[in-house]
Structure 1
Amino acid sequence: MVLATQPVIGKGTLASLKRPGAESEMGANMAGSSLITRFVFSCARSTLYSKKPEVFDKLANELATQLDAGFKDCISVLYGGDEATLYPVVLYTKGDWPILKRLGALNRTHHQAIANLSRSKGVCHLCMTGTEKYPDWHQCHQASWMCPESISDPRPPWSQQTLFTQLLARSPSLWGKTWFYRPDLFHTVHKGVGAELTGSGFATQDSSN
């Protein structure tokens, strides 16, 4: 398990680097090796925390505490020969669903679809699909709380908030806090749905021959 922070600003994207003069511009932090585009906080083997949840919790809480201190205490740097004060703000966290579940202590995740066939607890922290009120998984838009009119009485997807949404500066709304835990596109598509669809496509093509 690797916990790391990724600044928003960096070298740019592969597309933006093709523009004339892009070498001297700042852009999104997407181009380049992850070894130089992220600040590694910790690396841990699963044997260190898989059967000891308190180890993972202490590590996550320490990261949240340091990120909060960075914003409140600020950071002084030299930029263009002048001293500048930076207030680092954490926008959100990204990762696969298991790590989001642990970081947010989420009790409404896709794991419920496996552990609870009745789906009464729900399957997504961003909406209430799979609950008794919205049993149909396809009602995710109607059952979400992105818009005030979408649902009148949403239930938080946790029993108690972790330090990430308790300490870090963000919208106090339920949507603002739950949207802090964002599914990573790479894990969801490339290593998830996309991989399954690609495998199915190969199987279909092979059977047709």
Structure 2
Amino acid sequence: MEHIFLGNGPAQLKEFWCKWKQLHPEDDVFSTHDSSRLPSCVPMMLHLDEGTSHKRKGIMVLSVQIVCGKGSKKSTGHNFLGSTYLSRMLFSVLLARTHSRKKHVLNSLLAEWQKDLSDCYRNGIEVSGVPGVMKMWPVILACKGDWPALTKAGGLLRHHLRDAPNSDNPPGICHLCRAGQLGYAWNAFESDAPWLHADSPLPWNTPSALTNLAQNKKDPASFYAVDLFHVCHKGVVADYVASAIETRPTIIESVSFESVFLSKPPCVCR
């Protein structure tokens, strides 16, 4: 139990759900579990990622990550401290050669995962050793992962590989908005960009089994959450940082060979 609660008790969980309700009042957890149960509801996230296995062959990793952890070096409540082996619960793995050739294999595995998680969410799990908690209810807040994993998990039709500027009816590149579709240029960054203010249709024709998990039914696409690590640290933010290198002009008093080529270059990296 210490690997699930990570030092958090009913008081910390109650505080979490109070804050969560301010941001997501339509979440199913508030209609399924009353105020007496919320301090025993443990927030979690599904995590899917495609990594490399033996001989650099692709492998899909499916796990559950605890949201409320031991904090970080600067704050409490986060889940950054301690070993990741103790805060991420492995469910299964699949070699890419298996689920890429036979899509029903991954879909069947997700369906079984959903059944197990939904049963725990509805009926709870009896626990011991946690003060003030006799029964816990795991609550899945979202599914996160890199873009290829999210595309497969959600059966998404709009994703990062669907940019088709020459098409008469481009499908779109984002499951959360209409960016990339006809009339919604994804590279429009103005405050009045059309994709920012348009209603977004569902990004799938056939819903994934994960849509049966308790979630915000008014915005089901948001269940597939953007992974900040892949988007920021390994994505667009890294590009912005690399583009922030500027050359600062310096007045060179002497134009001799030594002063220009042997002195320290007049450049800074911000």
TM bucket normalised to smaller: 0.7 to 0.9
Match of residue 236 from structure 2: 193
Contact 2:107 2:208 in 1 (8 A): no
**Residues 10-89 of structure 1 aligned to structure 2 (within 5 Å):** 10-16=69-75, 27-80=77-130, 84-89=134-139
> 2: distance between equivalents of 1:64 and 1:80?
26
Letter in 2 for 1:178: A
Larger radius of gyration: 2
Contact 2:178 2:198 in 1 (8 A): no
> 1: distance between equivalents of 2:86 and 2:62?
15
How many pairs does the alignment contain? 188
1:162 lines up with 2:237 in the alignment: no
Q: Normalized per residue, which structure has more helix?
A: 1
Letter in 1 for 2:232: V
Letter in 1 for 2:226: P
Report % sequence identity: 34
**Structure 1 residues 200, 45: closer, same or farther in 2, change over 3 A?**
farther
Structure 1 spans left out of the alignment, 5+ residues: 18-26, 145-149
- Residue 200 of structure 1 and its aligned partner are, at CA, apart by 5.6
Match of residue 61 from structure 2: 2
> 1: distance between equivalents of 2:93 and 2:166?
35
Structure 2 spans left out of the alignment, 5+ residues: 1-59, 248-265
**Structure 1 residues 80, 64: closer, same or farther in 2, change over 3 A?**
closer
Letter in 1 for 2:195: A
Match of residue 143 from structure 1: 195
> 1: distance between equivalents of 2:193 and 2:121?
34
RMSD (Å), alpha carbons: 2.8
- Residue 88 of structure 1 and its aligned partner are, at CA, apart by 1.2
Letter in 2 for 1:171: N
Contact 1:120 1:135 in 2 (8 A): no
**Structure 1 residues 117, 190: closer, same or farther in 2, change over 3 A?**
farther
Q: Runs (4+) of structure 1 moved beyond 6 Å?
A: none
> 1: distance between equivalents of 2:243 and 2:171?
30
Match of residue 6 from structure 2: none
Contact 1:30 1:37 in 2 (8 A): no
**Structure 1 residues 170, 64: closer, same or farther in 2, change over 3 A?**
same
- Residue 164 of structure 1 and its aligned partner are, at CA, apart by 1.2
> 1: distance between equivalents of 2:194 and 2:122?
38
Letter in 2 for 1:143: W
Contact 1:134 1:143 in 2 (8 A): yes
> 1: distance between equivalents of 2:90 and 2:101?
23
**Structure 1 residues 80, 116: closer, same or farther in 2, change over 3 A?**
same
**Structure 1 residues 141, 40: closer, same or farther in 2, change over 3 A?**
farther
- Residue 141 of structure 1 and its aligned partner are, at CA, apart by 6.4
